[in-house]
Structure 1
Amino acid sequence: MYGMLSIGGKYKLVLTAILLIALLAAPLLLSEFRLGLLGKFLAFAILAIGLDLIWGYTGILSLGHGVFFGLGAYAMAMHLKLAASGGELPDFMSWSGVETLPWFWVPFHSAGLAVLLAIAIPVLAALLIGYFTFRNRIRGSFFSILTQATVIIAVTLFVGQQGYTGGTNGLTNFSTFLGFSLSDPVVKRMLYIATVLILGLVLLASLKLASGKLGNILIAIRDAENRVRFLGYNPVTYKLFIYCVSAALAGIAGILFVLQEGIISPAQMGIVPSIEMVLWVAIGGRGTLFGAVIGALLTNTAKTTLSEAYPEWWPIVIGALFIIATMLLPQGIAGALSGWIQRYRVQRGNRRQPVRPAAALASSGLAEPGPEQS
């Protein structure tokens, strides 16, 4: 069983409270630019939590979560683009020869409907993919390859339909959301705080889910799916449910990412970003949820820092860090910390336990019987 699963509920609540307090204090310490980066990383952390639920707890390795993230981001970006163009035809459509607004763009005039669709569309995509794969018992490396194929299909589609999706450039040049200017520093801080609060809610809900009966069933499916089936549970139902939950979290992450980053393109939902998402969870610690958050924050911070200082070398350095972390910390950062805490508890308990005389042990029946007693 992985890392934090063995840590009690009160410790999880304390860790969550400490994390949220630290993040809410960040606007007092960081510049506007750094705060925007941190907000983007927190959106990634929400996605990482969902990925940990299906990989760390259920054993489903998805290498295509960039698709769900991209679908949520594009849905939000479509509303922002319509708002920036005053409800008229977006500029990139005019450049591509499109004369009227496509029918599937019309619902995105509404901000509320855009948010709902940004979550519902990834969920529907996950439902479709998961139903046919899980029902046919496609799992392991075969499922991972299939998810990568969906990434290739999605990226090709979004790049090819330039008149409807913006092509390679994607969607950008947003100005307002709900009437508030996205360039206003106050609005940026409010978006950051909203991201922190949503991350806290997602983390608490995921911890509650993972610590209950459903979490135990997911772990059992990961460790012995056939045995779960023999016990009368249908693994397909549980895998499909958690896969859709993970896709919904990816869609939420896409919404928050676009609002703070101001752009979404097919490159951000491709194979490389999808693999990086898995690295966040691996480095942070599978099956821990806290590790997913830590991995997303640390990995993206290191990536940004190294790309600024060594733009040509940072991919190699990131890869080396992943290899080192995998070899030295196979359970990730959170798993290693949890192991150290548990060993400390055991040692502390051993020191507190009084040494009882042999006579007292014998009288209590706890001493091993001697030759004459046997």
Structure 2
Amino acid sequence: MNTLYRLSEPLTPVRVPVVVPAPMPASAALPSPARSRDLASIPLPTDTTSSARHDPSTELPVVLLTGASGVVGEAIARALRPIFRVVALRGRRASAHAHHEVPVDLASPRLGLDSSAWTELAARADVVVHAGGRACFDDKADDFHCVNVSGSRRMAELAHDADAPLIHISTAFVDHIEHAREAAATIPGDCAARPLTYLESKIAAERAVAASDALACVVRPSVVMGDTGTGWIPEHQAVHGHIKMLLGGARTSACGPHQRLDMVPRDLLARTVTALAVVAVRDSGRLPALYRVCAGAAAPTCEEFAQQVVETARGAGLQLPQPEFHDPAKAPLVEFPKWASLPERAREVLAIQAAGSTILGAGEVFPTSLGGHELPDGPPALTLDQALRNLDADIRFVLTGGR
């Protein structure tokens, strides 16, 4: 069986080592000590792709944001910037959209800041958005605990000391933890991807936030894809690796055709978080404790996902085979036809894909908060047509080499 011989790139993003700068006094990167409390007139952004600068004479509410240079956090910073003063709590990389930056260490007590810098930081915050964390599916449980769990606990402490609401970005797939635990046994022992470790860290992070005294809203997005209309994303994610695999002529997908690939565009998630941040500073009592950013009933199945790849490729002049499916929940990968004779790289990619499928559930529909009464100024719920157009944009983004 012809499978994955043309695939040449991994499913997970390439991690580029980055030198972390020496810490600087937090107060040197902060706005004026005067906190803005006249917040009722804050408008929602109409164009989150804009890089417009704020009017220096206008006092903006201050948001402390982690993960501002990441795939999710970059979009959130861009959406927040027109109506908030964005202070990025910086880890590895600088943010392109923050007004100010403070180098921190999420795993350290007080984020690695001394007590005066911590107090200075807390004194300026109107709202805290925690979008930082470790999201790759490797099996480094200690790293996940240090960053995802300890980091979330530190941010909850900071929000409490700031007397500011916390918006904590989690993942919708924590709802599938039991399915993931059962399905993990079907994954080959030498597979590099262990999504269960990631999910367990996100559950522990949510519990750390819930155990704190901070007023918090937990946001649970599903798979984050490229921006609406363009598919643009600063670095490819696992879903883009799956698209690339199918575009390369792979005939088999290691997932169940009935499983749902619930995905939402980055900019839609960013607009949602921005709307929640506005609620947080206007009237924190209206901030929901949990907000789900999912496609819900509009999410395509894995079979519909693969069919969309075939149709988009056909529109670009490529003729792809109709993919087949090997559901690892029904038959272990070692029972895949001629498994032992497949090239090592083909087995590795199939195993990674099968591991990713363990968190997708058994085909059930995620609930979604989009379009609900809790956030009337937030984005509406997605329709099936919109979800497929978003997927088409991601496929074209991959087809054109990310241009």
TM above 0.5, yes or no, is: no
Answer 1 or 2: which has greater strand percent: 2
TM-score norm. by structure 1 comes to 0.22
> Which is bigger in relative contact order (C-alpha 8 A, separation at least 6)?
1
Q: Which has the larger radius of gyration?
A: 1
TM-score norm. by structure 2 comes to 0.21
Answer 1 or 2: which has greater helix percent: 1
